Amino acid sequence: WGPGEGEEGHGGCLSSDSEGNTVCSGIPCPAPSLPGTDKFCPNGAYAGRELSGGCSLGRDVVGAQLIAGVGVPTGFPEALHPRGEEEEEEEKQKGSGPITFTLGNEILGLEPDNNFQSPDAEVYMHFMRSHCCYDAVPTSCKLVVFDTTLEIKKAFVALVANGVRAAPLWDSKMQTFVGMLTITDFINILHRYYRSPLVQIYEVEEHKIETWREVYLQGSFKPLVYISPSDSLFDAVYSLIKHKIHRLPVIEPISGNVLHILTHKRILKFLHIFGSTIPKPRFLKKTVQELCVGTFRDVAVVPENAPVYAALEIFVDRRVSALPVVNAAGQVVGLYSRFDVIHLAAQKTYNNLDISVREALQQRTVCLEGVLTCYPHETMEDIIDRIAEEQVHRLVLVDENRYPRGIVSLSDILQALVLTPAGIDALNS
């Protein structure tokens, strides 16, 4: 999350002009008071920071506006342009479909050793239990909140413009937070309603968030998974891994305000910064091959000549967050992640998903985390340091010839450092 400066309340709605000067917009904001959060209000082209006293400091970065609709919104169109058996068979013959591989015991060993059960291995578990979620909340941060009546297209453009990957959803009718809008939702929309380049998807992008939730979830609404500021970071790690989510809202129980969105990366960074004050367990000197930390079986990769739609199918079916991209020789040449997909919204190229993954990576306007690798002989400590310093979500495990051998993700690391010593396997539960 990017930094956002806190402001004193001024008792009115403020906005910023193109030069960054603060001006009065004169627009009241009926949304709930959410101090220190960016708001998208239903009163015109306003996008601002909600402050104490009901005032807002405008950002106006995307021109997103939330328009209160009249009448019952229509449902989403039926999914068109399904892939037929002939097309799928043709893709298989071209070798552009998804590939999975499984490493044998000769690479990893028969099973992990008992290093995580030794007394000194519990140091990170106790550290996380002794610190609450509020301790990991930064002094200044950016938080974007969407009303469920905001149009889908404007919401995803706002995510890109603000450089965030998810936003809590506020239901004005129920006066409560009802969920999170994430990149996964955008991927599910593209996967479900993909059409040929000759057909636009305006009827989908103009729908509101609440309409998508009603159609996609079809009444099976799951309660929002969140955590209190006073709960321990151990509980936060367990919730993230147990529910297989990447973002956990920290909600103040009395006011109902969202204070922060906790992520695996934020928690590991907190541990990496303050972990130097506690003894290091001996297993950190073990190699990833010895500890078997990571995913090594049935790992999905995508060929660089595969269409983007094939990558979306893997994201949806396998629920993975990134795919190593391999060339014709099977060597790792890139990494296509869920966050890369959201840039299709900014570039307005989401109605042509037949371009290759290689082309999609070349068209990226910014260099994201790229592909960082590690080797089986590297120690756990080296891998943690690299992930924390490079601020990435995973490393691709490769051999000396850059052939993929597995994935070491933040979930794998936090499971090993925090939950495994406690006898909890949230990854496979």
pLDDT tens-place string over residues 267-317? 999 998 887 788 999 999 999 989 999 988 888 999 999 999 899 999 989
pLDDT at res. 195: 58
Give the pLDDT mean for 156-170.
Answer: 89
Residue 407, burial from CB neighbour count under 10 angstroms (0-12, 13-18, 19+): buried
Helix (H) or strand (E) holding 98, with range, is none
Write the DSSP assignment of 334-378 as a string of letters: EEEEHHHHHHHHHHT-TT-TTSBHHHHHHT-SS--S---EE-TTS
Which of these ranges, 95-109, 148-162, 226-240, 344-358, has the smallest mean pLDDT? 95-109
Helix (H) or strand (E) holding 315, with range, is helix 308-318
The structure's pTM equals 0.72
DSSP 416: I
Q: Are 181 and 167 in contact (CB under 8 A)?
A: yes
What are the start-end ranges of the E strands in 226-273? 248-251, 258-262
Candidates 122, 116, 145, 139; CA nearest to 47 is 145
| CB atoms closer than 10 angstroms to residue 154 | 24
Q: Is pLDDT at 157 greater than 80 in this prediction?
A: yes
Q: Is pLDDT at 149 greater than 90 in this prediction?
A: yes
Which one-letter amino acid corresponds to residue 49?
R
Q: Are 324 and 371 in contact (CB under 8 A)?
A: yes
Residue 281, burial from CB neighbour count under 10 angstroms (0-12, 13-18, 19+): buried
Q: Is pLDDT at 391 greater than 50 in this prediction?
A: yes
Give the pLDDT mean for 13-19.
Answer: 38
Q: Could you give the percent of the chain with pLDDT greater than 70?
A: 66
What are the start-end ranges of the E strands in 25-120? 37-40, 47-50, 56-58, 99-101
Candidates 51, 56, 64, 59; CA nearest to 27 is 56
**φ/ψ of residue 125, rounded to 5:** -60, -45
Structure tokens belonging to residue 350: 């989401």
Q: Are 62 and 16 in contact (CB under 8 A)?
A: no
Q: Is pLDDT at 56 greater than 70 in this prediction?
A: no
pLDDT at res. 119: 78
Structure tokens belonging to residue 264: 């695996």
How, if at all, do strands 166-171 and 144-147 pair? parallel
DSSP 402: -
Structure tokens belonging to residue 174: 């129920």
pLDDT tens string 271-285: 988 877 889 999 999
| Selected residue with higher pLDDT from 324 and 60 | 324
Q: What is the residue extent of each domain of the chain?
A: 1-70+143-218, 97-127+280-422
Give the pLDDT mean for 330-351.
Answer: 80
Residue 145, C-beta contacts closer than 8 angstroms, at least 6 positions apart: 34, 37, 38, 39, 40, 50, 167, 168, 169, 170, 258
Residue 291, burial from CB neighbour count under 10 angstroms (0-12, 13-18, 19+): buried
| Selected residue with higher pLDDT from 154 and 365 | 154
CATH class of 1-70+143-218: alpha beta
The domain defined by 97-127+280-422 folds into CBS-domain (3.10.580)
Alpha carbon of 390 to those of 199, 234, 369, 394, 419: distances in Å? 40, 24, 8, 10, 24
| CB atoms closer than 10 angstroms to residue 285 | 13
User: Helix 380-390 and helix 264-274: axis angle, to 10°?
Assistant: 110
Residue 253, burial from CB neighbour count under 10 angstroms (0-12, 13-18, 19+): exposed
Q: Is pLDDT at 73 greater than 50 in this prediction?
A: no
pLDDT at res. 187: 86
Q: Is pLDDT at 28 greater than 60 in this prediction?
A: no
Reported as a pLDDT band with limits 50, 70 and 90, residue 33 is very low
pLDDT at res. 118: 76
